[in-house]
A and B are shown apart, each in its own frame.
Chain A
């Protein structure tokens, strides 16, 4: 097995047991293994398929496994797309009576799904351990994903079933029928790309490879992407995923695990998203729940609402919140442009004058502290746009008493921030996300980061 660089190319991944690409509509090209094994398949005698001529250990696997194909579909003819294995242990994907049929471990189909209308398609079958398995009968979860390239529509079907037995050596027949019936290519279809992987491949990865190549993500957030933990049963690792001395790896893994539970603080999609207007400050049905926000002016300043307020415990490594709010703001009266504002606050205790000064009985009197992220924008008339506000807000964390280790988060609004008109304004908030993160732009504290990173 040659040493491959682990590039971002779809064919260079260590999990790939076979990768064929019919670059010039030649079956010889499709049979050429572009993956790490560089072990080609054989072109069928009828020039209608590619297959493994003798049992190959690289195909000796049951789950996890993903077989993905790029196809030009023959809708009307029954045929086999691939077989993995032989006899009673054979997995198979067929087109049958206008449906894709996936039949693991024998001939009984566990997934039957209509073949989409578009001719150009990507078809993936992913088989993996069933997380909720209650016995042998549902030990495996298989997912058939069909992407209609012509119409840009993805469909997904899932079933659980028992694991097939693993023979001593596996055959793989791709884009063929090993049972003497119509081969897929003879039936009028064409397979242009084959990929056989020894792990679960989510469709997002297939889409990144073959559909939509997303652009790079820019970030200031620390990321701890955990590698494959080494266990006492681990070998050298033909996928080259294990590195370094065991002790060093163990230390590294421990650090990764320490970050794993860092996630959302408040993750809210508001079921109550009716608009409020600027008169609600004085409306008896609202005013008692609206308070001038800290740092705001009395006139057009930012105001907090109880409906957009809550408390969250803070992960010990979190030093900031990435916040995102989806809201609409508009001038109801006319089309004049007016300035609106939204703020996300992080408080270290309840933001109530008096309470923030007194503290709770028997507790230390922590000084009141808060941070906020703010966005202002203009909105015009009653055909408003949707505003998505994103910011990184340093997190203010309580240090003692009931607030210890927690932050209080509130969404505040300001309508006609510059006091430019007497119109009626409205605002409606639809969702508010606050995600705990470690903002790397502020640098590490003296002595290193929370998990011992060097400063």
Chain B
């Protein structure tokens, strides 16, 4: 096939930036030796990796209606004005010293509605995009924050919010916005905060939309920010940088007897610091290999319950999740490319090992999905010899797996085509919501928190007061002898303020050890508190709730004696007066022993 290129001059002046005081892409050339000898404190400011995205994925239309139907009437046609919809959930190992930005390309939004009684009403055309970022550092310290941007509505059509119709007109209506400074508050200004999240934070990025969004492409990506060290021990750090408490972030060369030496670790001087940082980075720093979120942009894909997953029917063989007629891996089928050429490791890819003809990269895979029926496996395969199997859970949850994937050897090498294959022996199918794949030989958070999100409301409206029942779906599997840390965070509604509740857990019989506490709402300023060593504690419900905005938190440790499932439980104080555990509630757990 012929390849033709316009006769243009290449931009052969790529530039390098530093984190400290220099904006991205400002010319600053750092030759290696000069970097070593003169700029020991300059940061590695190259990372521009996309960590999360939401886009049309080839669709010819958006799922939200085009605005040609009267929004006033007896049925819902358009998104409800207050219902946020999750469209992607991605995890990443964030490069040291970076913050995040979001770039969104979109067309003016469609209509929204509200319901009053039995009727729906027009609440105008508009939309919002929200980035819900949760950072967790190596000490399992977490911080979560929401960042939002608005997208103006279309003024077209009888009721507003109509999509364009003329040839190419959506292109000419395109808008774009950027959200900057997606980071924990005071990350750049308060050294005490900066030091918490500078070193290899893991970030969970949830993209949510509200209203009649017409997004073409939204990305969340890294940009250099600032790196703060805590000079209090001899920990292994991946970047050498400026100490806390010094807003000037001195760029002068540091000496072993630096201005604050004595009790501090010496991360800021000499080849030792550089080499130690590089050694750490070689095991953790590489390209972001892929992220994918299920959004078909068809039918009811704007449904307020959130993402419509990619569903795969029963298959005894490895069925391609995207091309159901295909089975197994083949080099000429579509997929994602494993572009890891720049992150090849000597210990895996030295030129005399695979002769520069093949390459592998170590990766971490996080899959959000479930199976129905019997156990199913998602295989992410990138060559005839390399793949990673991910055992899907029975209820929706995020599963972590590690392994190797075949990669490009060079950036222009046709190799490493990653394809998703699913086998459901004895089952009826599987559903995949999100996939994230990072370069990773060493993970950054030893006790990785698994998380499961309640997909739909669960109601306890039992005719017998105080009858405890499962919060179906808010559970996790455990094996005998292991010890788990868990934390349920459940948002719930009550049919009346005079209807109280109780919240607890159940699990495999006769646990070897069980310790947990629970806290849940009485009024806006008071809560019920319990400590327990047995299931279904307390026995009685409290006496009141808010109608909305209640929170129940149950956290503790369990060491089961037999395999089984730990699940949240709840009861209503009043017969036939509903307590509703709301969709979006979570359980996070990790095995600690």
Contacts and interface: CB of A to CB of B under 8 A. Distances in A.
A204 B60 contact: no
Contacts of B271: 246-247, 249-250
Given A324-B414, A374-B4, A313 B48 contact: yes
Given A288-B165, A318-B14, A393-B5, A251 B33 contact: yes
B290 A221 contact: no
Given A229-B282, A249-B275, A289-B171, A320 B10 contact: yes
Interface in B318-371: 322-323, 332-337, 339-360, 362, 364
Interface stretch (B405-413, B454-462, B568-576): B405-413
Contact of A225 (B346, B386, B413): B346
Interface in A119-174: 129-135, 137-138, 141, 143, 154, 156, 158
A105 B274 CA distance: 37
B219 A311 contact: yes
A402 B178 contact: yes
A352 B173 CA distance: 9
B275 A230 contact: yes
B143 to A, nearest CB: 22
B45 to A, nearest CB: 8
B49 A232 contact: no
Given A131-B443, A246-B275, A372 B352 contact: no
Contact of A204 (B25, B103, B221, B358): B358
A68 B37 CA distance: 45
Contact of A438 (B14, B50, B332): B14
Contacts of B389: 156, 158
A261 B336 contact: no
Contacts of A389: 1
B262 interface: no
Interface in B159-174: 163-172, 174
B358 A352 contact: no
Contacts of B168: 287-288, 290-292
Nearest to B442: A131
Given A319-B12, A374-B4, A402-B176, A390 B414 contact: yes
Contacts of A350: 105, 174, 176
A435 B25 contact: no
A365 B428 CA distance: 57
B261 interface: no
Nearest to B31: A452
B504 to A, nearest CB: 26
Interface centre among A130, A202, A228, A229 (most CB of B within 10 A): A202
B275 A232 contact: yes
A248 B412 CA distance: 29
A442 B10 contact: yes
Interface stretch (A20-28, A88-96, A302-310): A302-310
A316 B44 contact: no
Interface stretch (B187-195, B292-300, B526-534, B554-562): B292-300
A412 to B, nearest CB: 12
B314 interface: no
Contacts, number: 464
B3 interface: yes
Contacts of A353: 172
Contact of A134 (B287, B295, B448): B448
B17 A316 contact: yes
Interface stretch (B51-59, B205-213, B467-475): B51-59
Interface string A360-398: 000000000001111111000000001111111111110
A332 interface: no
A418 interface: no
A55 interface: no
A373 B5 CA distance: 5
Contact of B6 (A207, A264, A271, A295): A295
B327 to A, nearest CB: 14
B462 to A, nearest CB: 38
B58 A352 contact: no
Contacts of A352: 171-172, 174
Interface residues of B, number: 150
A307 to B, nearest CB: 4
B288 A263 contact: yes
A232 B337 CA distance: 37
B129 to A, nearest CB: 14
Contacts of B310: 271
Contacts of A272: 56-60, 296-298
Contacts of B174: 350, 352, 355
A373 B3 contact: yes
B10 A271 contact: no
Contact of B290 (A7, A200, A267): A267
A319 B16 CA distance: 13
A2 interface: no
Given A133-B446, A156-B387, A305-B60, A264 B339 contact: yes
A306 B387 contact: no
A132 B281 contact: no
A226 B298 CA distance: 45
Interface string B87-106: 00000000100000001010
Nearest to A348: B11
A81 interface: no
Contact of A231 (B25, B33, B276): B276
Contacts of A241: 346, 350
A224 interface: yes
Contacts of A270: 57-58, 334
A187 interface: no
B313 to A, nearest CB: 16
B412 A250 contact: no
Contacts of B346: 225-228, 241
Interface stretch (B116-124, B241-249, B396-404, B538-546): B396-404
Given A207-B384, A272-B58, A371-B8, A254 B414 contact: no
A207 B352 CA distance: 14
A405 B223 CA distance: 10
A8 interface: yes
A254 B278 contact: yes
B383 to A, nearest CB: 7
B446 A264 contact: no
B404 A202 contact: yes
B590 interface: yes
A261 B285 contact: yes
Nearest to B276: A231
Given A225-B344, A316-B48, A257 B278 contact: yes
20 contacts: A217-B415, A229-B282, A250-B271, A260-B343, A267-B337, A271-B295, A272-B60, A288-B167, A290-B168, A305-B60, A306-B171, A307-B56, A313-B223, A352-B174, A404-B25, A405-B24, A405-B25, A429-B58, A430-B334, A438-B14
Given A260-B343, A320-B10, A431-B334, 8 more contacts: A131-B442, A205-B354, A250-B274, A256-B278, A267-B289, A351-B171, A372-B5, A404-B25
